[in-house]
Structure 1
Amino acid sequence: MNKNIKRLLYIIIALVILGLIAYPKIPKGGDKANKAVQAASGPQITVDAVILKKEQLKNQVNTTGSLLADESVTLNAEVAGKIEAISFTEGQKVKKGELLLKLNDEEILAEIEKLRFTVKLNEDNEFRQRQLLEKEAISSEEYETALTTLNTVRSEIKVLQARLEKHYIRAPFDGTVGLRSISEGGYLNPGTRVAELYKINPIKLEFTIPSKYIGVVNVGDRIDFTVDAYDQSFGGTIYAIEPQIDPQTRSIRLRAKADNTGGKLFPGQFARISLTLEVIEDALLVPSEAVIPELNGKKVYLYREGVVNSKQVTSGIRTENRLQIISGLNEGDTVISSGILQIGQGMEVNLNIK
């Protein structure tokens, strides 16, 4: 039993001596540990990197909307009548006040002509009564009666002329006439649709954005938009903001106008809209994959003097594939953008500048 205990003590003493000999040779610190791991794992890895430079950044909101006519109206009749003449063709551009349709007006013209003869008769009567009044041959009441009769007939003519004008449908503004729903010789009732009239230059866009942007969007801000029909971008300007936030969607409605001189854009088209809220001329942008989220913020890996260095950063605006860095980096810094999970502080890497 004593021999076994002595043998065990000898083994323990030998292990302690070996440990004291090996301990000074164990690498100290994170940098040496990383280098040891790197040496054990093979040759240095190659990573992509970008050299930071100041550039322009547009803070944009992307949304969708619809195109609207600048002005549109349904042309219809105010009075009933037979359609005597249609003075437009479908798709025709017309000017404000241009005659588009005429209803039969023979009856009302005859009534106006009849009243004009009555006016002539009453004018002669009023003249004679005025002469008699000047000679004091009649009372002033008799003259007033004759004058009132004359003025009444004149007023009746004005009423008929107003009714006559309703037999003619004219363009209320410059625009393009759509497809008509009537034919010459047909009978038109009040309110019956004739056609649509559209003014599409300029053309309007209506869209919504989240209400959190209400403090930074203003009348006069520029928008860019595309439609499915063309492989090009169009520009416009916001001219009106709805003074109420939608309580259901918590969004705010805006309208913009865009030049449509070429007539390429039509009401009802779907539009993809990009609204520029602000332009930063000296922004620092890094690839989104280069930014590593942490519990207390974010960091990136920099390449300095041949090795990897981590750096805490504060981010700002995010674009489709890049992120603005507000603080922590400077122009000229080399930011590593690939192999993020394979590198660590103090590691030596090969660099591929993008």
Structure 2
Amino acid sequence: MNNFDINKRVPPLPETDSEKEKYFITGRGIISDYYSIRNLEERLGKYTIVAPFDGILTEALVTRGTLIRQGQKLGEFIDPSVYELEVSVAKKFSDLLKVGEKVALANLDETENYTGVISRINARVDQETQTIEVFIKVQGEDIREGMFLQAMIDARDEENAIEIPRELLVDRSKVYVVRDSVLDLVTVKPVYFGKNTVVIKGLENGEQMLSSNVPGAYSGMLVTIQKENGSTKSDMP
């Protein structure tokens, strides 16, 4: 009793020296009260949440005295010194990405550039989009929670390929080229689809193709080639 401190956890019960002493303590309800207090201490310990890192509270959804339900979100706590960018990468490039690989990042206005590192790669493939989530760790003084960043990941080198506007691609696998002043629709192999461009293979070196989409174009249409500012442009006669 002299060693009992109400501000600390209840210490272990002393060992009994005899059966008579054990029955006496049990009959007084001391053992049952002891384990009831220990159970309350364990429950109280679960109400104390310790973050695994130093940071700041960005969102608080409850206040002191609020009744908390199981699974309820309490708020959001972040580490402002390091952030993670989540991007979706096509499944066919998944075997080319590695944890620890550096990634070039930029804001949407492309006025600020950053360098990130791939920290995690999700092993699950999204069934709807057939993409894999890749998490990139990035640091920067002017980076804020919720910012949009674009990532340039070096996935694979493609030889004998060319990047063209997506509007020039017909039926997702064909493009118009000019042969002897006549349009010809040839089949190509798209290897990467970007936001506004597509990388294709299958064209011969030196072949001339349309620089812009021609309304009503068809295979066999006669065209004339004009040069503007060093570029080649195909127009209808």
Shift of 1:266: 3.2
Cα 1:312–1:181 shift into 2, 3 Å = closer
Residue pairs, 1:1-354, within 5 angstroms: 110=6, 119=13, 123=14, 126-127=16-17, 129=18, 140=19, 142=20, 144-146=22-24, 151-152=31-32, 154-165=34-45, 169-178=48-57, 188-191=65-68, 196-199=76-79, 202-208=82-88, 213-218=90-95, 220=97, 224-228=104-108, 231-234=111-114, 235-237=116-118, 239-240=121-122, 242-246=124-128, 251-252=129-130, 254-274=132-152, 277-280=155-158, 282-285=159-162, 298-300=176-178, 315-317=188-190, 324-329=200-205, 333=206, 341-343=223-225
Report if the CA contact (8 A) 2:126-2:132 is conserved: no
Q: Secondary structure at the match of 1:258?
A: strand
Which sections of structure 2, spanning at least 5 residues, go unmatched? 212-221, 233-237
Shift of 1:268: 2.4
Shift of 1:286: 8.1
In 2, the alpha carbon distance for the partners of 1:269 and 1:297 equals: 37
Q: Secondary structure at the match of 2:157?
A: strand
Cα 1:239–1:297 shift into 2, 3 Å = closer
Q: Secondary structure at the match of 2:138?
A: coil
Shift of 1:197: 1.2
Which sections of structure 1, spanning at least 5 residues, go unmatched? 1-108, 130-139, 303-307
Q: Which has the higher contact order (CA 8 A, sep 6+)?
A: 1
Shift of 1:278: 2.5
In 2, the alpha carbon distance for the partners of 1:224 and 1:270 equals: 14
Report if the CA contact (8 A) 2:187-2:202 is conserved: yes
Report if the CA contact (8 A) 1:286-1:335 is conserved: no
Shift of 1:227: 2.9
Q: Secondary structure at the match of 2:41?
A: helix
Shift of 1:174: 0.6
Aligned pairs, how many? 197
In 2, the alpha carbon distance for the partners of 1:180 and 1:328 equals: 57
Report if the CA contact (8 A) 1:208-1:254 is conserved: yes
Q: TM-score scaled to structure 1, two decimals?
A: 0.38
Q: TM-score scaled to structure 2, two decimals?
A: 0.51
Report if the CA contact (8 A) 1:177-1:195 is conserved: no
Shift of 1:337: 8.2
In 1, the alpha carbon distance for the partners of 2:125 and 2:68 equals: 34
In terms of fraction of residues, the more helix-rich structure is 1
After superposition, the C-alpha distances for 1:105-151 in whole angstroms (9 at most, x for unaligned) are xxxx74979x76x95xxx48x23x3xxxxxxxxxx5x4552575665
Q: Secondary structure at the match of 2:125?
A: strand
Identity over the aligned pairs, expressed in percent? Answer: 9
Letter in 1 for 2:106: T
Report if the CA contact (8 A) 2:84-2:137 is conserved: no
Cα 1:199–1:239 shift into 2, 3 Å = farther
In 1, the alpha carbon distance for the partners of 2:185 and 2:125 equals: 42
In 2, the alpha carbon distance for the partners of 1:159 and 1:224 equals: 52
In 1, the alpha carbon distance for the partners of 2:133 and 2:31 equals: 51
In 1, the alpha carbon distance for the partners of 2:188 and 2:95 equals: 25
In 1, the alpha carbon distance for the partners of 2:148 and 2:110 equals: 12
Shift of 1:353: 8.9
After superposition, the C-alpha distances for 1:233-259 in whole angstroms (9 at most, x for unaligned) are 44453611543423xxxx245432223
In 2, the alpha carbon distance for the partners of 1:230 and 1:343 equals: 35
Q: What do you get for the CA RMSD once the two structures are aligned? A: 5.3
Report if the CA contact (8 A) 2:56-2:80 is conserved: no
In 2, the alpha carbon distance for the partners of 1:257 and 1:285 equals: 29
**Radius of gyration: which is bigger?**
1
Report if the CA contact (8 A) 1:202-1:258 is conserved: no
In 1, the alpha carbon distance for the partners of 2:8 and 2:231 equals: 90
